[in-house]
Amino acid sequence: MNSKINVKVFFLLFLICVYSNSLYAQSIPPFKKGERVVFVGNSITHGGHYHSFVWLYYMTRFPNKPITIMNAGIGGESAWDIKDRLDYDVFDRKPTYVTLTFGMNDTGYDIFWKENAKELSEQRIEKSLESFREIEKRLLAENKMTKVLIGGSSYDETTKLNSLLFLHKNDAILKIIDAQRKAAKKNGWGFVDFNQPMVQISLEEQKKDSTFTFCRVDRIHPDND
């Protein structure tokens, strides 16, 4: 099995693991016939990979229950950018179901090479969560809409694919995910964690092949091509 096929297979297994395991997901309502679903996020959402699998699953298993999937991911964005486009890019599409993910760009990149990386990281996390609290208020006001928060995919710090590395970046992402999980529980929203199962599968596979990763280009973007 070549590396591209290998990663694609494990990406599928990862999604199955996430959506079927209560350790990673809580209270995720299935889509209903006619559902209008907006996936909100950054370039990982914009790329269209994970929700294309969700759409394909529903179209092949429930062909008599069509749904509309809308991609509201924009590359390079963080929570503060998403906050500013909620009206025209999310709510104006009249969704009945919204998923939201963020954290990869929020946590920064080259700050992890600086001497005061910990301080800079905490500042970016707080900025992200401050914007998220505003997003949370806006979502709470939309009481006819199902909401699901997605804990962002992992930054792969353990693959030996190359030497370019932002050490402890995924730890920062996990802090944002923890806040997302708590908000989902408090508000009765759905929550699914992409990060932990990606890390677990990667660590297991890296025991056999130290260069294994879901993110072969840059440690950031999961790729199923």
Q: What's domain 3-206's architecture? A: 3-Layer(aba) Sandwich (3.40)
Coil/strand/helix, residue 143: coil
What is the domain partition of the chain in residue ranges? 3-206
Both tokens of 80, joined, read: 């503060």
19 has a pLDDT exceeding 70:
no
Overall average pLDDT of the 74-82 stretch: 98
Cβ contacts of 59 within 8 Å, gap of 6 or more: 66
187 has a pLDDT exceeding 50:
yes
User: Which candidate, 158, 42, 161, places its Cα nearest to that of 103?
Assistant: 42
Is residue 137 within 8 Å of residue 68, measured between CB atoms? Answer: no
Q: What is the pLDDT of residue 98?
A: 97
Q: What 8-state DSSP symbol labels residue 87?
A: H
In the chain, count of helices (H) and strands (E)?
Answer: 8, 6
Reported as a single tens digit per residue, the pLDDT across 22-59 is 555 566 778 999 999 999 999 999 998 888 888 888 89
142 has a pLDDT exceeding 60:
yes
DSSP string of 90-114, one letter each residue = TGGG--SEEEE---TTTT-SGGGGS
Q: What is the pLDDT of residue 2?
A: 44
Q: What is the pLDDT of residue 151?
A: 96
**Angle in degrees, 0-180, between the axes of helices 195-206 and 169-187, rounded to the nearest 10:** 140
Q: What is the pLDDT of residue 5?
A: 42
Reported pTM: 0.89
- SS3 letters for 7-76? HHHHHHHHHHHHHHCCCCEECCCCCCCCCEEEEEECHHHHCCHHHHHHHHHHHHHCCCCCCEEEEEECCC
